[in-house]
């Protein structure tokens, strides 16, 4: 099937164009912030909660800085280091594109640790809270990738293959939607059940581990359908850079879950 004729501009007000791409990210941040405040306000979910709704408001800003700085630096060092070593100034050119989720993840981890230290709150609870709400942002972010016709999948003969603009004449896997389903919806439902039914916030660090494990596994699965970056390609056989960067998340997630479960 051909890529649906989606006008990238949702609303035009004079010279100001509001795009669906941007609205998707705004929706993700807004719903994640709203849900985080509800989680923090529910005392039943926590054994000893050190977070407040005011902390949630402040944490959003810290995480935004971590995402931008870490995402850009991750792209520079993980995906195109030789180019940026030769053109170091361009590593700051965010408007030219190029962000890495794994780099953004590390940036957020650093930002949350610093936030917990400055605000004197439990950093494991901060990580757990982020793990519970980030799938919301991932869901809307991957929808934004689809709307923007970017990060498409490998060629396929499946009936739901999509002919993307700029992706050639062959149908491709809509891998952005696969990621929205696995990294976003499925992971959110699993963590929601663990938080509200399993009361896993009572085991600080467990939900953060579930998120890292779940995202890592979902990303590795989708990498079998996603087109690798043209300037990197396959590292060895079917192995891609996305798989290599996701494996440590899987291992760290398992470790966090086992460690949190063993604590009193």
**What pLDDT shows up at residue 8?**
75
> Domains in the chain: how many in total?
2
**Percent of the chain scoring above 90 in pLDDT:** 50
**What pLDDT shows up at residue 94?**
53
User: Do 152 and 41 belong to one domain?
Assistant: yes
For 216-232, what is the mean pLDDT? Answer: 88
- Residue 129 covered by a domain: no
In tens, the pLDDT along 52-76 reads 999 999 988 888 888 777 776 766 6
**What pLDDT shows up at residue 78?**
62
**What pLDDT shows up at residue 60?**
83
**What pLDDT shows up at residue 264?**
64
DSSP string for 56-113: HHHHHHHHHHHHHHHHHHHIIIII-HHHHHHSGGGGG-GGG----HHHHHHHHHHHHH
User: Do 30 and 143 belong to one domain?
Assistant: yes
User: Do 145 and 105 belong to one domain?
Assistant: no
CA distances from 256 to 6, 210, 226 (A): 42, 8, 28
Q: Are 33 and 130 in contact (CB under 8 A)?
A: no
**What pLDDT shows up at residue 243?**
92
In tens, the pLDDT along 75-120 reads 667 666 666 666 566 565 555 555 666 777 788 888 888 999 999 9
Q: How far apart are CA 86 and CA 242, in angstroms?
A: 24
Q: How far apart are CA 219 and CA 226, in angstroms?
A: 10
Q: Which domain holds residue 109?
A: 52-121
User: Do 22 and 151 belong to one domain?
Assistant: yes
The DSSP element (H or E) to which 11 belongs, if any, is strand 9-13
Q: Which of these three, 121, 153, 170, is where a domain ends?
A: 121
In tens, the pLDDT along 134-171 reads 999 899 989 988 988 888 899 999 999 999 988 888 99
User: Do 201 and 91 belong to one domain?
Assistant: no
User: Do 21 and 142 belong to one domain?
Assistant: yes
């Amino acid at each position: 099937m051909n890529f649906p004729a989606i006008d990238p501009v949702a609303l035009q007000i004079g010279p100001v164009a509001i795009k669906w791409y941007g609205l998707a990210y705004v929706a993700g941040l807004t719903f994640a912030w709203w849900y985080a405040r509800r989680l923090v306000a529910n005392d039943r979910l926590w054994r000893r909660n050190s977070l407040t709704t005011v902390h949630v408001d402040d944490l959003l800003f810290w995480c935004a800085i971590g995402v931008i700085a870490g995402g850009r630096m991750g792209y520079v060092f993980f995906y195109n280091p030789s180019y940026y070593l030769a053109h170091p100034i361009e590593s700051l050119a965010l408007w030219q594109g190029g962000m890495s989720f794994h780099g953004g993840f590390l940036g957020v981890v650093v930002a949350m640790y610093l936030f917990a230290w400055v605000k004197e709150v439990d950093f494991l609870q901060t990580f757990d809270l982020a793990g519970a709400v980030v799938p919301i942002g991932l869901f809307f972010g991957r929808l934004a990738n689809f709307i923007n016709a970017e990060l498409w999948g490998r060629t396929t003969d499946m009936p739901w293959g999509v002919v993307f603009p700029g992706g050639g004449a062959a149908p491709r896997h809509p891998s952005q939607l696969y990621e929205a389903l696995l990294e976003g919806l499925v992971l959110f439902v699993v963590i929601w059940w663990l938080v509200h039914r399993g009361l896993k916030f009572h085991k600080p660090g467990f939900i953060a581990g579930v998120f890292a494990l779940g995202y890592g596994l979902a990303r590795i699965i989708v990498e079998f359908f996603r087109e690798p970056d043209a300037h990197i390609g396959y590292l060895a056989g079917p192995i891609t850079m996305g798989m290599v960067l996701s494996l440590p998340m899987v291992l760290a997630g398992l470790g966090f879950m086992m460690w949190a479960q063993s604590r009193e």
